[in-house]
Amino acid sequence: MKDKILLVVDMLYDFIDGSMACEGAEDAVSETLAYIRKEKPFPILFIRDHHPEAHCSFAAQGGPWPPHCVQGTHGADIHEALAPYAEPEWTFFKGEDPAREQYSGFEGRSEAGQSLSEVLHLLEAEEVYVAGIATEYCVRNTAEDLLKDGFRVSVLSGCLAWVDRKGHEEALQAMAEEGIRIL
């Protein structure tokens, strides 16, 4: 049987206990770790929000968010429980252009310059399991792009955290209607 491919979206300190701490984040990390130990997915791909200091999404530049996931800071790091699973060839950085908001992991690039779509096609992926933060933003945008790119998408609802609970529930509902499996 083919291995399960897991995509872990933005499980970074600023979204867990930092400037944009999301509701449910600690549980999302421990549930993701439990999923990894139980299901042994392979490979595990990671998305990392990775902003320059004066990014357009920050309030000082007129954006909606406090500064977060600034390149080179602790807040931009993957949670230490998950970091050992992150391989450079399967880690995609997004939000590096100071002038563009990028919620979808599809806009990210690995160190070697590959996109998530490129790597998933090379892996001959059919289905992708998704865990991450925040449900309403990066998780939803990434899951929708996966679906548009032809993959079956299963979102692990126990492995999510959110900015706003109502927004989280609405996003789950919308994804389900679009054909994304909510597990």
Rule CB under 6 A: is residue 65 a binding residue for ligand VGL? Answer: yes
Rounded least distance, CB 5 to ligand VGL, Å: 20
CA distance 3 to 120: 13
Stretch that binds ligand VGL, among 116-124, 132-140, 151-159, 172-180 (CB under 6 A): 132-140
Interface with ligand VGL, residue 134, by CB under 6 A: yes
Residues in 1-20 at the binding interface with ligand VGL, rule: CB under 6 A: 10
Interactions with ligand VGL, residue window 23-62 (CB under 6 A): 49, 57
Contact assessment for residue 173 and residue 157, using Cβ atoms and an 8 Å cutoff: no
Q: Provide the mask over 98-117, with x wherever binding to ligand VGL is found by CB under 6 A and - wherever it is not.
A: -----x--------------
Active-site residue, 94 included: yes
Task: Single out the segment in contact with ligand VGL by CB under 6 A; choices: 122-130, 131-139, 152-160, 174-182.
Answer: 131-139
Q: Does the active-site annotation cover 10?
A: yes
The single residue of 14, 22, 94, 145 carrying the catalytic annotation is: 94
- Asked about 22 being catalytic, the answer comes back as no
- Residue 117's DSSP bridge partners are none
Active site amino acids: 10, 94, 138
Q: Using CB under 6 A, list all residues that contact ligand VGL.
A: 10, 49, 57, 65, 103, 134, 137-138
